[in-house]
Structure 1
């Protein structure tokens, strides 16, 4: 069976090396618990969801547990008792890999499920939900893949593929205009520049400096609406800071183009699954 079955293309880069490392860390010199059973006895198994949400990490779990029959694709909706994959394997082999497969499946499904809640909350507005760099160490590619499966778009992948001039950059440089000008001299024409602003005067300065995107940091919906009315046709406006499921729709109704949410990757609860043996 293909190791990519279950993924929503394109699969994130580096996923196979990461999963191999996770397996090696968990199994170490060998699974001591398999002495309690006949490790070569064949057993049939299945994994089913235990809550409603969005499946993600299906391809990853399938790689860990292959060969198996995959019944859903990353990004599909699941409900309690939805069977997402099943297979047959030697007992010892399966039980030594079960936890690694479930860990990645539960975490990525949790990210995708929380993301889908935010996407649904802004339905009917022009705002798009995007993630941030607030990812868990080593998991950025997988977590950003999971937010895409949940319906969000990706913000910059890292410091290397987009410019964001934040408050400390501005303080160190002296002004927004000076910071933007210095960056413009040093990056290619394909690189977009975003400036963080916490008040309308800074938004105006960023627009005059020809920033491509202005991040409206911890502004009220009314203040964001003022920014949209004045500069929304000149620059992309991104809301960020203080965004949660209770506030995101008000932010979207202000007219901003993008809403970035760090909680998608740093605070998503796991979506529960379990692996059960079948007779």
Structure 2
């Protein structure tokens, strides 16, 4: 994951600095000026960022010092200073926007995830993310989901089989799709099957699959499906999940709730950085 973070940071810095670098900072700030940068949040939220903070600093200036007052998953309060950086004022100003963009995004995902987790947890349901992530931000987003208390679904098309409606319609039936997967990939790969109604649930639960996905069902339909499955397979709900509905689906008895909203509709946490010169004469 560190390699993916490094690549993301490299791209973010490159689009900010271009080929000319920070024209303003290079013109205004003395090369020898040292400073302290204080990162604060203007909003309540959940922190995520331990895994990539040092990488941002190292790509700009490995000599920068870091003092982080919180850990991933910690609650942040409005006005709280949770991170202090020290070193070259020029370096701190160069990394400011990239650092705030990445931190704000990660904290925003963690904050939203925590809210869903708190709504679902009393009913025993686990919150999962999805592949509905911005291009290039898959692992970054899933890291932030974990910081918020959620769990990760498959990372991509390569690490788990998820037989969806289009696969089923093209194959001819759920049974034919599952048989094809087991024939090609064997018995060790995890297979999740999407079902759209109780008839499909009854077909799928009798097959060698690892989990049943109950797609776009009402809470009442989910409860009926859970009763029909009777513990023979773990269940996952997708579709129609929001802050307004997640408790009803959790109460219906599903084991997992997969929510695209975690990483698709992101509101970054509002963060700021203030610079305090340390050796200005």
Q: What TM-score does the superposition give when structure 2 sets the normalisation length?
A: 0.91
CA distance in 1, matches of 2:5, 2:195: 36
Give 1:211 shift.
2.1
- Distance in 1, matches of 2:175 and 2:200, equals 10
User: What residue ranges of structure 2 are gaps of 5+ in the alignment?
Assistant: 58-63
2:52 is matched with: 60
Asked if 1:19 corresponds to 2:12, the answer is: no
Aligned to 1:71: 69
Q: How does 1:194-213 map to 2 (within 5 A)?
A: 194-213=192-211
Q: 1:27 to 1:232 in 2, by over 3 A?
A: farther
Give the helix-richer structure, 1 or 2.
Answer: 2
- 8 Å contact kept, 1:62–1:101: no
Q: Residue 73 of structure 1 aligns to a residue in which SS?
A: coil
- Counterpart Cα distance in 1 of 2:87 and 2:263: 33
Q: How many correspondences in the alignment?
A: 269
Do residues 36 (structure 1) and 28 (structure 2) align? yes
Residue 173 of structure 1 and its aligned partner are, at CA, apart by 0.6
Cα RMSD, aligned residues only: 1.5
CA 1:221 to 1:12, structure 2 compared with 1: closer, same or farther past 3 Å? Answer: farther
Q: Secondary structure at the match of 1:119?
A: helix
Write out aligned runs for 1:133-212 (5 A): 133-212=131-210
For 1:173-192, what per-residue CA distance to the aligned partner results, in whole angstroms no more than 9, with x for missing partners?
10110000010111142211
Residue 110 in structure 1 maps to residue 108 in structure 2: yes
Q: Give structure 1 stretches of 5+ with no counterpart.
A: 1-10
Post-superposition shift, 1:45? 1.5
TM-score by length of 1: 0.92
Q: Could you say if the C-alpha distance between residues 210 and 188 of structure 1 is closer, same or farther in structure 2, counting changes exceeding 3 Å?
A: closer
Q: Distance in 1 between matches of 2:271 and 2:250?
A: 33
How many angstroms does 1:12 deviate by? 5.4
Q: Is contact 1:74-1:149 (8 Å) kept?
A: yes
